[in-house]
Amino acid sequence: MLLNSLNFIFAFLPVVLILFYVVPGKWKNLVLALASIFFYAWGEPVYVVLMLFSAVMHYMLAIDIGRKQKRSRSAVPSLVFVIVMDVFILGFFKYYGFLSGAVNELLGTGFSTSALTLPIGLSFYTFKNLSYVIDVYKKKCEPERDPITFMAYASLFACMSAGPIVRYADIKEDLYVHNVYMSRLGEGARRFILGLAKKVLLADQLSMMITQIQDSGSSMSMVTAWIYLFAYTMQIFFDFSGYSDMAIGVGNMLGFEFKENFDYPYIAKSVTEFWRRWHMSLSGWFRDYVYIPLGGNRVSVLCHLRNIVIVWCLTGIWHGATWNFPVWGLYYAVILIGEKYVWKNLVSRLPGWAANTYTMLLVMFGWLIFMNTSWDAAAGMFASLLGFGASSLIDVTAGYYLKTGILLFALCVLAARPVLKKLSERFIERYTIVTVLVYLVMFLLSIGGLVFNSYQPFLYMQF
């Protein structure tokens, strides 16, 4: 079951909310835990066992670490064990096909190269659970001893499939207090509708355009290549930030205050700033649990360069098991090193529009690497973007999408900036009825899109 499915919107979520609001406080976490297990089992009846195993393992090892620390015994073996287990599980399910193929090429062996079906949300709930154990080890939080409360956290359906990566310390109080009231329910509903609209009315429309261009079969003109890359750049943002908005909205309805996962990354004036605004729960995870333990930037220049490369290689590998992902990570490592040590002063002196253009061009070329698992396809598109491998400067396909997609493109550019947010906040303060009508129209249009268009899963679920 997914947050953008009709089953979730009209059946699962209303039932869970009614039960959650009706039962006494001491039973709310049980409702959350059972609902989350059902939510996951709906789409992954086999892999729900793996999700439960992960929750139980991290629950028990966190208690073991806390007990050892109180007795002044080393908890390092327990921490190492949980890290090794998490790496093994991730590696087995995400990278088996890739690694077995590499071994076959190197050693001439005959291992099966068929990739295993990736359990939904594996990367997200593994990182979430691991952050909890590490925080217990670092004494940033006490181990949770109530198994139901921990299961409610570890399996929380709102952020199970594609994040954000919610840390236990950030919602511990919410797991016990459950601040639920009508104004928060309304706030959560608005946020959910906003995310649903981003997904259905923007990301899914861009997805159909991208698919049509791909299916055209002919070589792209230079303008078509730029339209294609721009559409993907906007699609991945609205798809992923839309999911995050929906997850945060559901969390609000259930009394949780999740941290923001996106902060208008496409208005950034440097790539460094972009990564402070994009998928903040993941970049924050690597910062706190990899980059800083390696020494961060409080080391020699050479060690700092090493730390950046390690973090970004791991970030790329986290996304997938094809060569384009670690290369994508290295691409950003090089740019971030350049902005830190080579052309930092140059970027800072650029006018705002020029700095944003510089950033967006580099980000779009990054998405070019990210989206293409074939080097030939990536090289061909790169050549088309520069006009070398293009069939022409502009063709009928480009003209068609410039005419039919101009309104969609303009809306995407506006929605990717804080302009609409500021306007909506003013409306919420002054015109409550108008605000309700606007969100109602957005909701109805989104439901219409779900009913009449082909189903589009969230892009980041594949990671």
Please give the distance of CA 194 from its chain centroid, rounded to a whole number.
17
| pLDDT score recorded for residue 181 | 81
- The span from the CA of 95 to the CA of 116, in Å, is 9
Q: What is the DSSP letter of 119?
A: P
> 227: pLDDT confidence band, cut at 50, 70 and 90?
very high
List active site positions: 319
Helical (H) or strand (E) element with 317: helix 301-319
Residue type, 426: R
3-state DSSP assignment of residue 236: helix
User: Where along the chain do its domains lie?
Assistant: 6-178, 184-269+350-454
Q: Could you tell me if 277 and 248 are in contact, meaning their C-beta atoms sit under 8 angstroms apart?
A: no
The string of pLDDT tens digits covering residues 397-413 is 889 999 999 999 999 99
pLDDT tens digits, 168-212:
999 999 999 888 888 889 999 999 999 999 999 999 999 999 998
Burial of residue 427 (CB within 10 Å: 0-12, 13-18, 19+) is middle
- The predicted structure's pLDDT at residue 339: 95
Residue whose C-alpha is closest to residue 274's, from 335, 197, 317, 330: 335
CB 165 within 8 A of CB 45: no
Using pLDDT thresholds of 50, 70 and 90, give the confidence band for residue 462: low
pLDDT digits (tens, 9 = 90+) for 288-342: 999 999 999 999 999 999 999 999 999 999 998 788 999 999 999 999 999 999 9
Of 369, 290, 379, give the one whose Cα is nearest residue 325.
369
Residue 428 confidence class, pLDDT cut points 50, 70, 90 = low
Name the CA dihedral angle for 217, 222, 223, 227, rounded to a multiple of 10 degrees.
60
- CA-based end-to-end distance of the chain: 17
- Residue length, the chain? 463
Helix axes 222-253, 352-371, angle to 10 degrees: 90
pLDDT at 43: 78
pLDDT higher than 90, residue 367: yes
Q: Are 409 and 398 in contact (CB under 8 A)?
A: no
Instruction: Provide the percentage of residues in the chain whose pLDDT is more than 70.
Output: 95
Mean pLDDT lowest for which of 48-57, 139-148, 154-163, 176-185?
176-185
Report residue 21 as tokens: 């609001």
Say how far apart CA 231 and CA 360 lie, in whole Å. Answer: 13
Q: How far apart are CA 463 and CA 460, in angstroms?
A: 5
For 304-313, b/e burial (b = at least 16 CB within 10 A) is beebbbbbbb
DSSP conformation class of 181: -
Examine the pLDDT at 457 and tell me if it is beyond 80. Answer: no
Sorted by sequence, the CB contacts under 8 Å of residue 391 that are 6+ apart come out as 218, 219, 220, 221
Residue 267 has pLDDT above 80, yes or no: yes
Half-sphere exposure of 237 (CA within 13 A, CB side): 26
Residue predicted with more confidence, 141 or 380: 141
18, 456 in Cβ contact below 8 A?
Answer: no
Q: Are 89 and 50 in contact (CB under 8 A)?
A: yes
Tally Cβ neighbours within 10 Å of residue 296: 16
- The CA distance from 110 to 284, in Å, is 40
Asked whether residue 58 carries a pLDDT value surpassing 70, the answer given is yes
Is the pLDDT at 248 greater than 70? The verdict is yes
Distance between CA atoms of 283 and 277, rounded to whole angstroms?
Answer: 9
| Residue 208, pLDDT score | 92
Does the pLDDT of residue 352 top 90, yes or no? yes
pTM of this prediction?
A: 0.92
